[in-house]
Amino acid sequence: MRTELFGETSAAELVADNISAWFGDHKVLDRVSLTMAAGEVTALIGPSGCGKSTFLRILNRMHEMIPTASLFGEVRLNGNDIYDAKERVTTARRHIGMVFQKPNPFPAMSIYDNVVSGLKLSGVRATRSQRDLLVEDSLRKASLWNEVKDRLDQPGGGLSGGQQQRLCIARSLAVSPRVLLMDEPCSALDPTSTRRVEETIADLRGQVTVVIVTHNMQQAARVSDQCAFFLAAQNTPGVIVEHGDTDAMFESPRDERTSDYVNGRFG
């Protein structure tokens, strides 16, 4: 059914190449390069203010929505530069979805309509039976189906905070993204909801490329295959100090600053 609606979709490699970014005259990232492997989970860690969320927004062209924002470098999805003049913003954002720190379902819209809302924005037509299957599939992938299957016509804003976050994940998954970006998706959630979101991330491994910003070192260690440590020294833009296999980053980091951060000595 997803193949019928969207054609063949699969997890894609995402490459950031020599990215620098500014807000007005203030430089916030300096020559950041990172390869996020297809189907793997990459965690972005580092103290507040080092450019992690800015970098995440650059990956699906949300940075350019800020009037004073600018950037240099390339972001390539399976080799294609998403900032190329021929590439449509809407296409980039369908292939590279985003889940934010604060759940943002359409509060007055039903759970069902929240999930399928991306179809209209993507210009995809679907029959009722196709939409029904899509809603169930997306909610199952987001570990929410069993909790809401008997009240799909009720407002999404009536769900708990954790359920709203998983509804936002389902909404993103409904348009078959190749990459899913998550900006501290569990920071406002209780432990049970956090566990369910982490289980969802684990289930998505191999199907979707996931990039997650987190300040929770235990979470980064639990959910990610690869890890990138961002740092900004005083009055300097953010850079990647170290990146690589998550287990290696936590157990035998190459840079002393990485060791200090993951072991809680600063940040």
pTM: predicted TM-score of the whole model, two decimal places: 0.92
Which residue reads 């980064």 in tokens? 220
pLDDT in tens, 134-188: 999 999 999 999 999 999 999 999 999 999 999 999 999 999 999 999 999 999 8
The upper half-sphere exposure of residue 208, i.e. CA atoms within 13 Å in the direction of its Cβ, equals 29
Task: Quote the percentage of the chain above a pLDDT of 70.
Answer: 97
Task: Quote the percentage of the chain above a pLDDT of 90.
Answer: 81
What is the distance between the alpha carbons of residues 220 and 43, in angstroms, rounded to a whole number? 6
What is the distance between the alpha carbons of residues 45 and 56, in angstroms, rounded to a whole number? 12
E strand or H helix at 93, and its extent?
helix 89-95
E strand or H helix at 16, and its extent?
strand 14-23
According to the model, what pLDDT value does residue 8 have?
57
pLDDT in tens, 190-245: 999 899 999 999 999 999 999 999 999 999 999 999 999 999 988 899 999 999 99
pLDDT in tens, 61-82: 999 889 999 999 999 999 999 9
Q: Where are the alpha helices (DSSP H) in 14-51?
A: none
- Residue 4, SS3 per DSSP: helix
Residue 124 · residue 7 · CB < 8 Å: no
Query: Per mean pLDDT, which range of 83-92, 120-129, 145-154 is the poorest?
Result: 120-129
Q: What domains can be seen in the chain, in order of their start residue?
A: 11-107+178-262 (3.40.50.300)
